[in-house]
């Protein structure tokens, strides 16, 4: 078996026959199977899949109770025989002919080929401004919090093909819709390519994407961060930040009380000193795996720039909340510190230690 295409379905009877026929054409010359993973559709999708299996290499996995798109793909993977694993929607929004392009990329040496709306000629048909914005926001969050997605322009894609050996099934524990996030996180890919395609308008049936799935998305990002160590990294970063506060306050006190410096001069020295101790600790403790991101000099300069910008932001928030909104200054400061911690973390993770 060359290729297994996993197709999750929930009430997609109206498009399944056409999908199977078009995939059959797109994959001619390969031995393939289509694994339909249906979650007890009420419209007869499962029965249709069985009927189609008389004529095409279609297999049906029928699950009780609806349990979600991404988990359907994982269950499909369990039964898949192919060396290459494809994933796509059943509703024809993923044009089946694009699958042959994905196969060509893998044959040319990629181990993951993603059909992408965000490279070259790719796009989405008939999307409202709101839907576009939500989708862009979702991609932005993934890029911020999940480093394994950063080189991918369309990590939200549900249309892709990969070498089976690059992914360990046990590492896939998705929540909700976005199975590619799991695959990117768990996979050992040497070469990933994105192939442009147009996400077609849905002509039959309806989308199953609801607010619930959007909330699942956030839970999924959190779960991935827990498993891949990014949450731990963030905790370490906060700890280092705390140590910086101790260094800063201690030195400010020492220099002012014992060295007789004017307190603003002491403050300038203690701020820079704590930036340097924070950098050193983060370099060895928080980002030890990313020290090759740039020359030492570049990293420390970037860290300084981020920290000084952060300080300015902190003061800005403190002033805004206290003087403009009349909030108690110590409370304003807590808000400022929280915002700047996130700012420092994200910029350093994305830029200083990228
Ligand atoms: N088995 C199963 N169980 N299948 C499901 C479930 C479920 O709970 N929910 C949805 N599906 C199936 C649908 O039947 C369809 O074949 C596919 O999953 C995609 O569902 P849609 O509801 O049509 O998704 P969409 O068009 O809003 O969203 C798609 O957006 C991406 C673009 O960012 C995603 O599903 C991606 O695959 C797509 O690339
Ligand atoms: Mn769809």
Tokens, residue 305: 């720039």
SS3 112: strand
209 pLDDT above the threshold of 90 = no
Q: Count other Cβ atoms within 10 Å, centred on residue 14.
A: 16
- pLDDT one-digit tens code per residue, 96-108: 999 999 999 999 9
Domain count, the chain: 2
SS3 9: strand
Q: Does 49 contact ligand 1 (Cβ within 6 A)?
A: no
The predicted pLDDT at position 167 comes to 95
Q: Does 303 contact ligand 1 (Cβ within 6 A)?
A: no
205 pLDDT above the threshold of 90 = no
Range of the domain at 190: 3-200+208-228
Q: Does 209 contact ligand 1 (Cβ within 6 A)?
A: yes
229 pLDDT above the threshold of 80 = yes
Q: How many residues would you count in the chain?
A: 354
DSSP string covering 162-207: EEGGGS-GGG----SS-HHHHHHHH---S-EEEEE-EEPPP-SS--
- Give the ligand whose atoms come closest to the C-alpha of residue 19: 1
| Global confidence as pTM | 0.88
212 pLDDT above the threshold of 90 = no
Asked if 123 and 117 count as a contact pair (C-beta separation under 8 A), the reply is: yes
The predicted pLDDT at position 316 comes to 97
244: confidence class by pLDDT, cuts 50, 70, 90: very high
What single-letter DSSP state applies at residue 110?
Answer: -
Are residues 267 and 125 both part of a single domain?
no
Are residues 222 and 234 both part of a single domain?
no
Are residues 218 and 254 both part of a single domain?
no
Q: Does 216 contact ligand 1 (Cβ within 6 A)?
A: no
Domain harbouring 81, CATH code = 3.90.550.10
Are residues 45 and 144 both part of a single domain?
yes
Best CA proximity match to 167, nearest among 67, 89, 84, 88: 84
The predicted pLDDT at position 129 comes to 94
Asked if 193 and 101 count as a contact pair (C-beta separation under 8 A), the reply is: no
- pLDDT one-digit tens code per residue, 255-278: 999 999 999 999 999 999 999 999
Are residues 176 and 276 both part of a single domain?
no
- pLDDT one-digit tens code per residue, 130-187: 999 999 999 999 999 999 999 999 999 999 999 999 999 889 999 989 999 999 999 9
What spacing in Å lies between the alpha carbon of 49 and ligand 2's midpoint? 18
Mean pLDDT (the chain) is: 95
CA distances from 14 to 17, 90, 205 (A): 7, 10, 7
Are residues 159 and 38 both part of a single domain?
yes
Are residues 234 and 153 both part of a single domain?
no
Nearest residue CA, atom 36 of ligand 1? 158
Tokens, residue 31: 């031995």
- pLDDT one-digit tens code per residue, 8-41: 999 999 999 999 999 999 999 999 999 999 999 9
Are residues 14 and 143 both part of a single domain?
yes
Are residues 110 and 22 both part of a single domain?
yes
66 pLDDT above the threshold of 80 = no
- pLDDT one-digit tens code per residue, 77-131: 999 999 999 999 999 999 999 999 999 999 999 999 999 999 999 999 999 999 9
Are residues 22 and 136 both part of a single domain?
yes
The predicted pLDDT at position 154 comes to 98
Are residues 15 and 163 both part of a single domain?
yes
Nearest residue CA, atom 19 of ligand 1? 89
348 pLDDT above the threshold of 80 = yes
Say which residue the tokens 């409202």 belong to: 128
The predicted pLDDT at position 33 comes to 98
Higher-confidence position of 233 and 1? 233
What is the pLDDT averaged over residues 319-342? 95
What is the pLDDT averaged over residues 220-225? 97
Q: Does 45 contact ligand 1 (Cβ within 6 A)?
A: no
Nearest residue CA, atom 6 of ligand 1? 69
Can you tell me the distance from the alpha carbon of 147 to that of 287, in angstroms, rounded to the nearest whole number?
13
Q: Residue 116 forms beta bridges with which residues? A: 196
Can you tell me the distance from the alpha carbon of 101 to that of 72, in angstroms, rounded to the nearest whole number?
24
Can you tell me the distance from the alpha carbon of 164 to that of 3, in angstroms, rounded to the nearest whole number?
10
Angle at alpha carbon of residue 191, lines to 190 and 193, rounded to 5°: 155
The predicted pLDDT at position 87 comes to 98
What spacing in Å lies between the alpha carbon of 71 and ligand 1's midpoint? 12
Q: What's CA 15's distance to the chain center, in Å?
A: 29
């Amino acid at each position: 078996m060359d290729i297994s295409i996993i197709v999750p379905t929930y009430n997609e009877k109206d498009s399944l026959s056409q999908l199977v026929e078009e995939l059959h054409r797109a994959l001619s010359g390969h031995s393939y199977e289509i694994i339909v993973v249906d979650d007890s559709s009420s419209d007869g999708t499962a029965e249709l899949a069985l009927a189609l299996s008389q004529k095409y290499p279609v297999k049906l996995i029928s699950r009780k109770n609806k349990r979600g798109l991404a988990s359907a793909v994982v269950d499909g993977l369990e039964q898949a025989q192919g060396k290459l694993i494809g994933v796509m929607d059943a509703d024809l929004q993923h044009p089946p002919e694009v699958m042959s392009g994905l196969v060509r990329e893998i044959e040319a040496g990629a181990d993951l080929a993603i059909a992408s709306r965000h490279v070259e000629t790719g796009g989405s048909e008939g999307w409202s401004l709101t839907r576009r914005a939500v989708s862009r926001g979702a991609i932005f969050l993934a890029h911020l919090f999940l480093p394994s997605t950063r080189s991918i322009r369309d990590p939200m894609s549900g249309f892709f093909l990969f070498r089976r050996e690059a992914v360990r099934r046990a590492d896939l524990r998705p929540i909700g819709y976005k199975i590619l996030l799991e695959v990117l996180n768990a996979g050992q890919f040497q070469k990933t390519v994105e192939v442009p395609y147009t996400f077609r308008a849905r002509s039959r049936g309806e989308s199953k994407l609801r607010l619930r799935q959007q909330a699942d998305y956030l839970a999924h990002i959190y779960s991935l961060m827990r498993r891949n160590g990014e949450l731990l990294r963030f905790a370490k970063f906060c700890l280092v930040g705390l140590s910086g506060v101790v260094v800063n306050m201690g030195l400010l006190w020492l220099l002012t009380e014992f060295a007789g410096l004017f307190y603003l001069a002491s403050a300038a020295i203690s701020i820079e000193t704590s930036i340097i101790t924070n950098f050193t600790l983060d370099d060895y403790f928080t980002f030890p795996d990313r020290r090759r991101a740039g020359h030492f000099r570049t990293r420390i300069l970037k860290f300084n720039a981020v920290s000084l910008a952060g300080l300015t932001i902190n003061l800005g928030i403190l002033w805004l909340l206290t003087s403009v909104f009349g909030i108690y200054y110590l409370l304003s400061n807590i808000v400022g510190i929280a915002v700047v911690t996130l700012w420092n973390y994200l910029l350093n993770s994305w830029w200083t230690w990228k």
